[in-house]
Chain A
């Protein structure tokens, strides 16, 4: 139904456009002698109304063509009582209905969905690991870096890096790599992919080497190394 109404509206406006063009050329001065000498800006100002209300102007034009008066209501006294009653009625209706409609809409609004447990944070801490001294953060990134190690109590100790990220890093396809030695701009074939990095989140990745190496932040979408930190 809405499509049909819009189509009818489009036809009405199209007819209005054609009418307005013709009316400006030949009808306007016949309907209202006051337009004689009026400038282009005046004609422009009344054009939207002509397009919207063209049937009213078409009727007046027809009256003018028949030699009938087109001055409007000048022939009879204008009543204002009816308008005041209409105004009063509208205001009373609004005062009654508006609080109901607005209040009901406000009261029935849907709240946020229930809270769910976070599922996407990183792996758990390594069993039996202890936290080493915090690392300096990556330059320019709000990431707290912590290194954990299982230490000497374990025969083959493992290391884990924890990234606490406070907010969206606003970097596309950001990944964390471990490299055995710090290197230049790119990533060598020795680079080991640890995982994706995003925020806000707490992420933990196990390091492949027992000692040393460096961490590299690399954007796979920008194909750019963004930061590195020696371990």
Chain B
């Protein structure tokens, strides 16, 4: 209680409570992390942290929200309520880690303030009616930011200092906003991760969680509402009839309704007392408390008040209002007007006849700083074991249900030296020639972070250059991050692109796929597709990273085509289309080993609901069926039915970037 503030008022129960919390949480996080590493050995540390902390925070929030109504409905859960504050702060810290890492990974190192990027990367989609009504495009980040702000305010004020200085009503109102935060978080998940994740486990678990939480709170709220319902009460001289003496157990309280407000009536040592039902600490129901050592003890956190004057026993200074009590026959009357604070009401003696046969309240009562009643120890252990089993299992299952993604490699921290001819058009790239001079490879060039060709390398088209950088590669496409621009040097004139690069034209194609940024897709971020990654892709494209078209192919693969304009000028498009489905028509050509789609038209594709994944049901690109030039260049369909490719199709284990099973072995 409030003799003076300390950082944490530790006692044995709190230490055990926090120890169990830490153990269950560590088990859960470890289970989720290990599962993620098993299914995605190349998952980046940032992605692992972002996913694991978000799952842990959401699971913990459900536990926290369940404790309140459970304790209202069954007193055996009161020990869980005792230190719920530490659960809340832990949950906020997990959410904060998730938010900070997401802010750094998806919005940092770009051309815009990360906070602006988080809230306004695709601001047009705040308008639900732009380009046809589609809820699923609504930015999900703002829900997460809103929830985190509420949780921050709650965590920051989770100290008795704030209860005293904000006042119980304001403090409690602020903390009831946790339900708003809960709603925002469900929207954050639904409009974010669930837009891409294919497993039904996520919506099922979310729905079960929401039904449980809302059901428990509705049950508790309506039970309270029943108690609060005004009914006609007898009045006499301003006193209101509340209950009969026989209903009062010795040393136990009973909440009664007086003038629309709940008060607590206690019977103790032959007298009846009436006090406010609201504990000065966290608004706990004093009337559900018990008299211990002569003081009324709140069932939530054990704060105490003397029944005769409502004052906490010295040296504590809290005080709750007391009320005058009258007895007529067997009925307890309470005056709705509170006494002056600290006035000794002294209570009213119960007549001798009524004292006989009085019931003694002996149901288990929990006070955190007193030894635990054996009647509560059993249920508490059972609940703890259940949580210790279900939380890690649930977190592991949620991690296992993640869509599989291909890897890609980013040689982060490994700097190599490169030498070759630099081209700025059609895209910034370096041609790496074979030692013998025959053949070569084109590597796309980007800077550190979410930027394209560094300034130092601009204006050197067709020149032979050397520099240090780190490789990024996937499925035969190679990119170099020029993260040491000071190492850049010009060696002399190079060879014109057309003179040394092998060029193979594959004709005009129409392709539909997701507009991605090639740097993330090739290996910097895993995965680098879908709505969750959309803001990052927008920042990357805005910073000059070459765009790519991620296409789902008929054998289950997902392949990226690098996009460039059909002329010398940079490709023009709306960067907010990143992460969305677009249709591209253009000339497909392969320069050395780089498939390049020279874009003639680039537009948003028609939206459609989530289709069946059966390949035969899905539309094909009509241009591919009719383009004769293409047929001459591309292997005819029957050529794919070689023994080896049939064998490949038989081993279906992997999923592609769109979360579908691929016909290719992992």
Chain A residues within CB distance 8 Å of chain B: 2-3, 6, 31-32, 34-39, 41-42, 44-46, 48-49, 52-53, 56-57, 60, 70-84, 86-88, 90-92, 94-95, 97-99, 101-102, 104-125, 131, 144, 146, 162, 164, 166-175, 177, 186-202, 204, 218, 220-223
Contacts and interface: CB of A to CB of B under 8 A. Distances in A.
Given A78-B280, A95-B218, A110-B136, 12 more contacts: A53-B153, A75-B341, A111-B609, A118-B557, A119-B634, A122-B635, A131-B643, A146-B642, A167-B666, A174-B476, A200-B475, A201-B476
Interface centre among A111, A187, A189 (most CB of B within 10 A): A111
Nearest to B594: A196
B473 A91 contact: no
A218 B168 contact: no
B407 interface: yes
Interface in B182-221: 182-183, 186-187, 190-191, 194-195, 203, 206-207, 210, 214, 217-218, 221
Contacts, number: 375
B621 A38 contact: no
Nearest to B69: A91
B654 to A, nearest CB: 7
Nearest to A192: B438
A195 B593 CA distance: 7
Contacts of A31: 165
Contact of A53 (B4, B157, B634): B157
B214 A117 contact: no
Given A108-B135, A172-B471, A175-B434, A167 B478 contact: no
A72 B559 contact: no
A168 B2 contact: no
Interface in B614-647: 615, 618-621, 624, 630, 634-637, 639-640, 642-645, 647
Contact of A39 (B6, B553, B605): B6
Contacts of B169: 73, 78-79, 82-83
B511 interface: yes
Contact of A105 (B187, B475, B642): B187
**Max count, chain A CB within 10 A of own CB: residue among B6, B194, B475, B607:** B475
Interface in B651-666: 651, 654, 658-660, 664-666
Contact of B161 (A34, A169, A186): A34
Contacts of A201: 476
Contact of B261 (A36, A81, A90, A199): A81
Given A32-B164, A111-B609, A113-B551, A98 B183 contact: yes
B122 interface: no
B158 to A, nearest CB: 9
B406 A168 contact: yes
Contacts of A98: 183, 186, 210, 214
Contact of A83 (B153, B172, B210): B172
B552 A115 contact: yes
B473 A164 contact: no
SS of A interface (majority): mixed
B473 A170 contact: yes
Interface stretch (B113-121, B299-307, B347-355, B359-367): B113-121
A78 B135 contact: no
Nearest to A37: B4
B224 interface: yes
A195 to B, nearest CB: 8
Nearest to A189: B436
A60 B165 contact: yes
Contacts of B166: 53, 56, 72
Nearest to B191: A105
Point out which of A86, A115, A177 has the most chain B C-beta atoms below 10 A from its C-beta: A115
A175 B135 contact: no
A185 to B, nearest CB: 11
A114 to B, nearest CB: 5
B28 interface: no
A52 B407 contact: no
A126 B401 CA distance: 44
Contacts of A102: 186-187, 190, 206-207, 210
A2 B123 contact: yes
B261 to A, nearest CB: 6
B513 A116 contact: yes
B506 to A, nearest CB: 6
A140 to B, nearest CB: 16
Given A45-B159, A221-B432, A166 B553 contact: no
A118 B164 contact: no
B567 interface: no
A57 B165 contact: yes
Q: Report, nearest first, the 9 A-B pairs whose CB atoms are least far apart.
A: A198-B476, A193-B439, A196-B593, A111-B610, A173-B441, A112-B658, A164-B644, A49-B156, A172-B473
A204 B636 CA distance: 13
Contacts of A121: 634-635, 640
Interface stretch (B29-37, B55-63, B173-181, B453-461): B173-181
